[in-house]
């Protein structure tokens, strides 16, 4: 056994080491690329940040004969448009979006309120055209003009460029009236989402990022498709315990924001929404002052999410896209491409996926190896190695035991013919002509030669026969 162990034990140890190494390789996680946290958060979240346009078309009837006024009304097609734009975030893959109530307020205003707002705009247009003061234009038009119809429209523009109808599912109140939060529904499946956090855990000076579509970032000098790209600005929590006049809690932040950002998500370091931007601080000398903006806490927003019967769930699109980004940043372009193509199959209009697919294809030749791809081969090899270890151990220890057993049995054959010591039979002397063979000599080093064993057995047989004849 000792001689066998000299080579079987080292081989077994090498095989065991190979099995352990294979498990280590299979479970190695992909290397993370040199990408900042802010960039990661931006890439994770921007596919779910949307632009919302809410407006109303009001039709007018003019009851006085005034060709000049009629001419202006004809240019306006006897209607005026009022409304605005804001931002929002998708929180459910079936198309549920959180935003501010004031972003979609025209969809909830009473008809007379909408008509009054539209009439003020019409008066301003006429006063500017005829170069008269506002009150003069107002007094004239109010006597001869009345609204005929009101058409409300809420549109959601996805980052990929799709423009969809929005339906208000739950609604709070504008800034100066109550809780400035709302939930809007669009038709869609497998949409990207952003998870909701917990604003009760927010601490002063926490890092945050504000994402949305600020009007200040729109410019005639930019291409039309630039309006589909959201803006993300970094900042910190400035105060957590402030309230509006109506008693609604708000969070103060110092990240830069402006009109158009309203309803946009405020995101923490975990990539979760902890609030929605709602309003900015007062102007100073008629100018906006950055660094003093306020957000509706996400726990307030959740009240309206619950009213709408919505669950904030992660989508398969998010999972595949995030996994693809991690692989891409780590240099595993082949594997990233597989994830990105899977995203494209379930959600073809994803805003970022075409670019990442193209980049992954270009860098395919530089793709790193991912050991988990060879898991099947490793498992097969581990099974074979484990079987070999078992065979070697059996060969080493079981083989030695058999030889010892044989050595213990064979010497017992000699004394069995000599019963004199027991007093039951006379002792028979050995024949001097036949040299005695000691069977213990045949078992040296734990080995028995078959030929010598046969000769020894034959000699034993001859002795037995001779003894029997003499008796």
**What gap in Å lies between CA 98 and CA 219, rounded to an integer?**
26
Q: Is the dihedral of CA 339, 341, 344, 350 positive or negative?
A: positive
| Rounded-to-integer distance, Cα 229 and Cα 194, Å | 17
For every one of its 471 residues, what pLDDT tens digit does the chain have, with 9 covering 90 and above?
A: 667 777 777 887 887 887 787 667 666 666 777 889 999 999 999 999 999 999 999 999 999 999 999 999 999 999 999 999 999 999 999 999 999 999 999 999 999 999 999 999 999 999 999 999 999 999 999 999 999 999 999 999 999 899 999 999 999 998 878 899 999 999 999 999 999 999 999 999 999 999 999 876 666 667 777 788 899 999 999 999 888 888 889 999 999 888 788 999 999 999 999 999 998 755 555 556 566 789 999 999 999 999 999 988 888 999 999 999 999 999 999 999 999 999 999 999 999 999 999 999 999 998 887 666 656 766 787 788 788 778 877 777 775 555 555 455 545 444 444 444 444 444 444 544 444 445 455 454 545 555 665 566 566 666 665 555 444
- CA-CA-CA-CA torsion for 124, 127, 130, 136, nearest 10 degrees? 150
| Residue of 414, 412, 410 whose CA lies nearest to 436 | 414
**Residue 345, burial from CB neighbour count under 10 angstroms (0-12, 13-18, 19+):** exposed
Confidence (pTM):
0.74
Distance of CA 146 to the CA centre of its chain: 54
The set of residues, in sequence order, having a beta carbon less than 8 Å from that of 452 and lying 6+ positions away, is: 437, 442
Contacting residues for 360 by C-beta, under 8 A, at least 6 apart: 328, 333, 334, 336, 337, 340
Residue showing tokens 């290397």: 31
């Amino acid at each position: 056994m000792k001689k066998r162990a000299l080579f079987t034990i080292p081989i077994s140890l090498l095989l065991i080491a190979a099995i352990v190494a294979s498990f280590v390789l299979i479970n190695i996680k992909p290397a993370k690329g040199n990408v900042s946290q802010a960039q990661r958060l931006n890439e994770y979240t921007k596919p779910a940040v949307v632009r919302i346009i809410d407006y109303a078309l009001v039709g007018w009837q003019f009851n006085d004969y005034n060709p000049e006024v009629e001419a202006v009304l004809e240019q306006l097609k006897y209607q005026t448009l009022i409304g605005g734009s804001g931002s929002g975030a998708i929180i459910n893959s079936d198309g549920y979006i959180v935003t501010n109530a004031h972003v979609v307020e025209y969809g909830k205003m009473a008809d007379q309120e909408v008509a009054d707002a539209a009439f003020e705009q019409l008066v301003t247009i006429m006063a500017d055209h005829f170069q008269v003061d506002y009150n003069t234009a107002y007094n004239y038009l109010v006597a001869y003009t009345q609204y005929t119809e009101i058409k409300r429209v809420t549109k959601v523009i996805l980052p990929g460029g799709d423009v969809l109808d929005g339906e208000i599912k739950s609604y709070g109140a504008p800034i100066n009236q109550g809780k400035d939060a709302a939930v809007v529904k669009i038709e869609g499946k497998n949409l990207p989402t952003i998870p909701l956090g917990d604003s009760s855990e927010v601490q002063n000076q926490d890092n945050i990022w504000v994402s949305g579509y600020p009007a200040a970032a729109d410019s005639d000098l930019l291409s039309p498709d630039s309006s589909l790209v959201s803006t993300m600005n970094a900042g910190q929590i400035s105060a957590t315990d402030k309230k509006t006049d109506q008693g609604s809690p708000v969070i103060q932040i110092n990240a830069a924001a402006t009109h158009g950002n309203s309803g946009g998500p405020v995101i923490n370091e975990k990539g979760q929404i902890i609030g929605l931007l709602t309003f900015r601080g007062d102007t100073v000398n008629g100018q906006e002052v950055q660094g003093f903006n306020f957000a509706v806490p996400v726990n307030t927003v959740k009240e309206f999410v619950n009213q709408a019967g919505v669950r904030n769930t992660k989508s398969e699109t998010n999972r595949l896209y995030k996994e693809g980004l991690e692989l891409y940043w780590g240099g595993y372009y082949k594997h990233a491409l597989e994830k990105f193509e899977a995203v494209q199959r379930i959600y073809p209009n994803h805003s970022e996926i075409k670019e990442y697919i193209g980049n992954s294809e270009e860098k395919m030749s530089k793709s790193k190896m991912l050991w988990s791809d060879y898991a099947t081969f490793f498992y097969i090899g581990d099974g074979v190695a484990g079987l070999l270890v078992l065979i070697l151990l059996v060969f080493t220890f079981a083989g030695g035991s058999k030889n010892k057993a044989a050595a213990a049995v064979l010497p017992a054959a000699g004394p069995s013919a000599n019963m004199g010591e027991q007093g039951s039979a006379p002792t028979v002397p050995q024949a001097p002509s036949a040299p005695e063979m000691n069977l213990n000599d045949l078992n040296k080093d734990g080995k028995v030669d078959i030929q010598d064993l046969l000769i020894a057995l034959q000699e034993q047989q001859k002795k037995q026969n001779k003894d029997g004849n003499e008796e």
